[in-house]
Structure formats: structure tokens, C-alpha cells
Amino acid sequence: MDKRRMCPHCRAFITTDDKVCPYCETPVGPRAIDLRGGGEFIAGLIPPARFASTIILSLNVAIFVILLLASGRSGQGGIMQIDQWTMVRYGAAAPLLVFREGEWWRLITAGFLHWGLMHILFNCWAMMDVAGHTEEIYGTPRMVAIYLGSTIMGFFVSMLWRSGIPVAVSAGASAGLFGLIGAMVAVGVIHRKSEQAAMIKDFYLRWAIYAFLWSLLPFFRADNAAHAGGFSGGFLIALAAGTQRGFPHPSDKVWTAIAGILTALAGWSFVRMFFWLLAASK
């Protein structure tokens, strides 16, 4: 796994092992997870610099296992292709359900579901890289806000785009992933004078183009409207948030609050999904 990150002071590439930036000699303080006395056991299991990234990745995998079990019981799907009814029951988005039935919570839950093994493997591979880098540069609260905010934005755009097909079903973590890519592209805009930031922007801009072209392959059930919405949402949220600084800043509390609100909204969305699932099972 790539251990690069960016020094919050000089924007040079350093590693997650560095305690002091070798370029500007600025101390790179411990991450918030290192300061959580009650979470020492968890901190020992999860890389401190990629705390939220690891949690999000684990949630996606755990939910995919649940989908596999549910699809297997229905006898209609398998590991390579989860059946559509199972996806809908567990929170996939469709214009009919979102706009007509008012099930807005699906704009979040859909971002944690995957259609099959190849779908989740590709997204998890991408998440292991881009999510970790985004968390390093923006910090955990901003990264969480970017990921969840761009997931909502991505599926909202997707539902608008597919509104002429009310029963079109969409799901996948790629809306949030494209949001993170958009945030990495925004680094070059936030720090226009930094050559390192320009390199990051160019690298992830190429990644966005390659990912879009890859999604055009016929064996992918790609939702490019969600990708475009997620990318735009992540880019705009990142511009508003700015990258994390090497010292405490008043905006840190603002983005911690925003991340907390969005996390609570995600939790509420899954509670709504659970009750919808119970009602649909009767």
C-alpha cells in the first residue's frame, strides 16, 4: 500500500512513518485517533492515518456479505450478480422510490451496496488508495464529509438523470470514490502555487478520466451520472473545506460537526432501510 502523504505545512510528499517533515522540519503531530484514550485497542488494529478509510472499506465488505447471504436465500442471485430485488430491499436507489415515495435515505444507503464480486473488488481496490490519500491531506472529518456528501450528490444527480426510467436501480461506492478523486483534484486549485499540489491534481485528473473510460466497458453496470455528480460534489466540498493544517484551526470544529451530522444521517438512513426491509418481508 502506498504510504505517501502530504506535509500539511510545505505540501511535500512524506510518509506515514515520518514524525517530522524532512523538507521543512515541521513536526507532524499525532492524528486524532492516536489521542483517543478509550480507543487504544481499535487504534492498534486500524492504521491511524487511514482510520475513516478503513472503517468505510470494512462497512462495504460487511454489507456485501449480507447481500450475498440474502441473495442466496432468495435463489435469484449469486456472488457475481446480486439480484435486483435484494438490492432494492437493502437500500439501492431508484427514481420511483426516491422522488415519488420520498425515500431520500436511499441516496446514502445506495453508496454502500455492490452488485457483485467484481464491482466490490474494483471499488475496494480504488478505495484503499484514494481514500487513504484523501484522509491524509484533508484530515478525517473533512474526508468523511467529502465522501458522504459526494455520495448524496452523486445519487441525486443519478436519480435526476434516470427520472425518465422510474424503476432504474443504482448502487455502488463509486459515487463517493469519484467525490474523493474530485477532492484530490481540488488540491491543485487550493494550493495553486505548489508544484506538489499540481502533481496531485494532474495524477488524479488522469485517474478520473481512466476510471470513466473503464466504466464504459459493456460488462460494467456503471452509473456515470452518479460518477459525475460525485466528482463535482467532492470537488466543491473540498474547495469549501480546504486541506487540513499543521495546527488547530477554528474551521476544524466546523468540519468535525459537519462530518458528525452526515455520519448521524447515514446511521439514520440505515435504520430507515432496516424498517423498510422488515415491512417488505411481511
The one catalytic residue in 53, 170, 174, 269 is: 174
CA gap 92, 172 in Å, rounded: 9
174 as an active site residue: the answer is: yes
* Residue entry with cell 499540481: 198
CA gap 169, 158 in Å, rounded: 10
> For residue 9, which phi and psi values (nearest 5 degrees)?
-95, -55
Identify whether the C-beta of residue 255 lies closer than 8 Å to the C-beta of residue 142: yes
Strand partners, 14: 5
What angle in degrees, to the nearest 10, is found between the helix axes of 117-138 and 51-74? 160
227 as an active site residue: the answer is: yes
The one catalytic residue in 119, 150, 227, 269 is: 227
CA gap 43, 21 in Å, rounded: 23
Kindly write down the DSSP assignment for every residue of 119-179, as one continuous string: HHHHHHHHHHHHHHHHHHHH-HHHHHHHHHHHHHHHHHHHHHHTTTSTT--B--THHHHHH
Strand partners, 27: 20
Residue 198's identity, in one-letter code, is A
Active site residues: 174, 227
